[in-house]
Structures are given as C-alpha cells and as structure tokens.
A = this chain, B = another copy of it.
Amino acid sequence: MEIGVIGLGGMGGGIARHLLATGHVVRVYNRSPQAAEALVEAGAIRAATPAQAAPPGGIVITMVANDAALEQVTTGPEGFMPALGAGGVHLSMSTVSVALIAALARRHAESGSDLVSAPVFGRPDAAGSGRLWILHSGPAAAKTRVRPVLEALSQGVFDIGETPEAAAVGKIAGNFLIAAATEAMGEAFALLTKSGADARVFHEMMGKSIFACPIYQNYGRFILDEAFSPAGFKLSLGAKDVGLALEASAGAQVPMPFASVLRDRMLAALALGQGDLDWTSIALRAAADAGLGQTPR
C-alpha cells in the first residue's frame, strides 16, 4: 500500500521508517527537508510539498507539532487536502485540539475524503518498532481501511468512537491522567520527605504493588532522581497539552479541578524557567512550595 507521511520528527520519522521496513511504499514530507534524508536513502519517496505526499484517494498520515502545523499541511496553500481527493483518508496522529479535528472533519467531508483521528501513546523508539498504543475514531468504513496500517504500527489498536473528535479527546484525557499522576507523586514525595520518611522506598513499594505500571515506575524515578534534562517530553509541550484538556473541557462543559491545578502548576513552572525541562519537573513546584530545596530551579 502507498502511504504519505507528513511530519518527520521523532514520532513521524519512526512511523515512516517502520512502514518502510514492513514493506509499504511511503511518500515523506517535512517542513525542513533534512529530516527526510535518511528515509529517502532507505527507499522513501521525497515529496516537495504536503500535496505531493498525498496518494490520490489513498492514505495520508500527519504527525506534526500542533494545531497551526496541522492546519497548514492540510488546508494551507500547499496543503494535501485537494490532492488526496475523493475516497482518500487522512489519518491524523498528532495531539491537537478537539476543535481543529472537528473543523477538519467538516472540510474533509466537503472534499469527499474522510478523517480518522488516531493519536498514539509511546516514545519515538516505540514508533520505529511498531509498538505504539493507538486510539482511533471516525467513520466506520475509513476506520476499516486504515486498520492494517494502525496494526502495523502498534501493539494495540482501540476504536473509541464514530467521530474523529472522540480519539482526539482520548489522547488529551490520557495525557491528563499522566500529568495528574505526576503531580500526585510530587505532592506525596514532598510530604514524605519533609516528614522524615524515605520517598524512594515508598516509590519502590508502590511500583511493585498497586501502582506497578510504567507511569508510576518511570515518572516517579525521574522525579526522585531529578532527571529532568534532557527532556523526554518538554514541560512547555506538557503545558500545551494541559491547555488542550482545559479547552476540551470548557467546550464540553465538564469541570476538571485536577486539570485546573495542573494548569496553575504548569504556568508557575513556565514562569520560573522550567519550560525546557522534562514535564515531570512540575514536581519541583510541590517541593518548592513545601520549602524543600532551593527555588526556583
């Protein structure tokens, strides 16, 4: 199958590479063309514009940084939507706003193409080796059509609804759960440390028992080791994602007090210069408010 991949950062590049490795014909586009070099050497077809990356009536994957970039590559002057044309499927894998997904779905419907939202959980190495976890949603026929692609990329594909917005919300909700777990650990560790208890022992036990899962095991360790740089996922991006959660919750009229606390934590961290640290560094705020360590970091 011929597939376009637009956006070749860590995640998009890994996806393109894995599709190539599993026998697909892959057209690749990235705003700064250097990111395409290695993929072209490995057999990908270079597209000079987003439009050139779209196989007419085929499948285009987008994995870009934010709403503005997704809008640009899809419906901008060189956007792929006209080239994709009737019968095509846009497989949007970025973390973007629910409002944009809803707007693009309308545009695709007018253009005769379909939008399937399929955001992912996993790091770049998981993308490059087909071990992502993928939520997706959209029109039934389009979902059926992209399913083999999603299965090639993942260790689990989950159908979360009939509208493309559903999976967009799913991704936002997932990142919210991660941020909430991080803040909870930050508060708990501050309490333990200031009370003379060994937070590492606490973390070890929790990670072996009732919270024996990657987020608590790994993110808890990052916090305890203050392993915030280089960032696995920058706090500035985490702040953006919390912003998406608040925007989605405002749109749906769903109060989310934990998300509101996270908003204020993220803003404090940004104001104090932590934007380029890993997003688990929001735990520094709980510690600093308790008078632990030198603030700010």
Contact = CB atoms under 8 A, between A and B. Distances in A.
Interface string A97-108: 010000000000
Count this chain's copies in the assembly: 4
A197 B137 contact: yes
Contact of A169 (B192, B246, B249): B192
A106 to B, nearest CB: 15
B206 A177 contact: yes
A263 B264 contact: no
A187 interface: yes
A291 to B, nearest CB: 3
A277 to B, nearest CB: 15
Interface string A242-275: 0101101110111111111101110110111100
Contacts of A192: 160, 166, 169-170, 173
Interface of A: 98, 121, 133, 135, 137, 156, 158-163, 165-167, 169-170, 172-174, 176-178, 180-181, 183-185, 187-188, 190-192, 194-198, 201-202, 204-206, 208-216, 243, 245-246, 248-250, 252-261, 263-265, 267-268, 270-273, 286, 289-291, 295-296
A291 B272 contact: yes
A275 B210 CA distance: 24
Given A161-B197, A184-B177, A213-B210, A264 B270 contact: no
B264 A201 contact: no
A170 B202 contact: yes
Contacts of A245: 191
A97 B10 CA distance: 36
A163 B210 contact: no
Given A184-B181, A260-B261, A163 B98 contact: no
Contact of A209 (B156, B264, B290): B156
A268 B289 contact: yes
Nearest to A263: B260
Given A184-B181, A268-B255, A166 B250 contact: no
Nearest to A188: B173
Contact of A174 (B195, B206, B255, B286): B206
